[in-house]
Chains A and B, each alone.
Chain A
Amino acid sequence: MPPDIEAVAEQVFAALADPSRRAILAALAATGPATATDLAARLPITRQAVAKHLALLAEAGLVTAEPGERRRVRYRLRSAPMRVAQQFLAALARDWDRPLGALKDHLDQGARAPVTTS
């Protein structure tokens, strides 16, 4: 496993820790690619702050820039790093302790059943 997988997940979590960046990602997810100016108009964030956050999001690979109308840069959501982070979360969320506890109970109950019914 290449070491940069963990670095990708770490960047995603750092990016998502900030409410303004979450709002920017949510806006891009909801309505598609937008310029920094569009985003600043839609969100309670100054254009300067939007630009700063977009730079960080691009660094984390969560957005990519593409040419838009009149030579403006539009930012597009990029989901690949999210999927890396999701896999990290999936490993944490996959709960084997509970089903294995249930398996143990199931077997123990089965073992007692002949006793209780005889």
Chain B
Amino acid sequence: MSFPDRIARTMELAHPPGKVWAALTTAEGLGTWFGNEATIDLRPGGPARVRWTDGPTADLRVERVEEPTVFAFTWHIYGLPEEDPRRTYVEFTLEPAGAGTRLTVVESGFAQLPDDVHGKAYDGNARGWASELGELADYLDAA
């Protein structure tokens, strides 16, 4: 399957997990490396907001806070209409690696099933019906 449901990246950082944790989970950190300005209520279910001066604002919902190993949030799927309720899940995992940290980020949920893909039978019928009527319309138009 080549449809990407998840994006994963791993990076080695020459800094201890505590320091990486602070960069990921504080307003100061998120507002520096991620966006230009950020707020965060660091608890599961807590809201966070990241602003970019030249662009959008992202509203995050904090999902997992397990200091200093797992931090996760969900956010709106880039490219979908603002009112679309579907969200992707972003999870950062921090593992000690020597004096530094191995940081893994996984964002998943890009291939969420739209409800109406289930409606294939209905659509099939609608199309059959459409082509029947289309032939009639063509006939009438040509007359």
Using an 8 Å CB-CB cutoff, how does the interface string of B17-44 with A read, 1 for contact, 0 for none? 0011001100001001110000000000
A to B contact number (C-beta, < 8 Å) = 146
Binary B-proximity of A73-106 (CB < 8 A = 1, otherwise 0): 1000000100110111111111011011011111
B29 touches A96 (CB 8 A): no
Q: Do A107 and B80 touch (CB < 8 A)?
A: no
Chain A residues near B123 (CB-CB < 8 A) = 61, 64
Query: Which residues from A are CB-within-8-Å of B32?
Result: 106
Q: Does B13 contact A (CB under 8 A)?
A: yes
CB distance from A103 to the nearest CB of B (A): 4
A80 adjacent to B127 (CB under 8 Å): no
With both beta carbons as reference points, the residue of chain A lying nearest to B105 in the complex is identified as A96
Instruction: Check A87–B110 contact: CB distance below 8 A.
Output: yes
B82 at the interface (CB under 8 A from A): no
Q: Which residues of B contact A72 (CB under 8 A)?
A: 137, 140
Question: Are the C-beta atoms of B23 and A103 separated by less than 8 Å?
Answer: yes
CB contacts (< 8 Å) of B9 on chain A: these are 96-97, 100
Pairwise interchain contact B1-A106, C-beta atoms closer than 8 A:
no
Q: Indicate whether A65 reaches chain B with its CB closer than 8 angstroms.
A: yes
Do B137 and A73 touch across chains, with their CB atoms under 8 A apart?
yes
Q: Are A71 and B133 in contact (CB under 8 A)?
A: yes
* Segment touching B, from A1-9, A13-21, A23-31: A1-9
| A65 and B77 form a contact (CB under 8 A) | no
Residue picked from B7, B24, B79, B84, most chain A C-beta under 10 Å = B79
- B121 CB-CB contact with A under 8 Å: no
Is B131 interfacial (CB 8 A cutoff)? yes
Which of B24, B34, B114, B136 contacts A80 (CB under 8 A)?
A: B114
Q: Of B15, B107, B123, B130, which is in contact with the most chain A CB atoms at under 10 Å from its CB? A: B130
A residues in contact with B134, CB < 8 Å: 36, 51, 54-55, 65, 73
Q: Taking beta carbons and an 8 Å cutoff, which residues of A are in contact with B?
A: 1-6, 8-9, 35-37, 47, 51, 54-55, 58-59, 61, 64-67, 70-73, 80, 83-84, 86-94, 96-97, 99-100, 102-108, 110-111
Chain B residues engaging chain A, CB cutoff 8 angstroms = 1-5, 7, 9, 11, 13-15, 19-20, 23-24, 29, 32-34, 77-80, 84, 86, 88, 103, 105, 107, 110-114, 116-117, 120, 123, 126-127, 129-131, 133-134, 136-138, 140-141
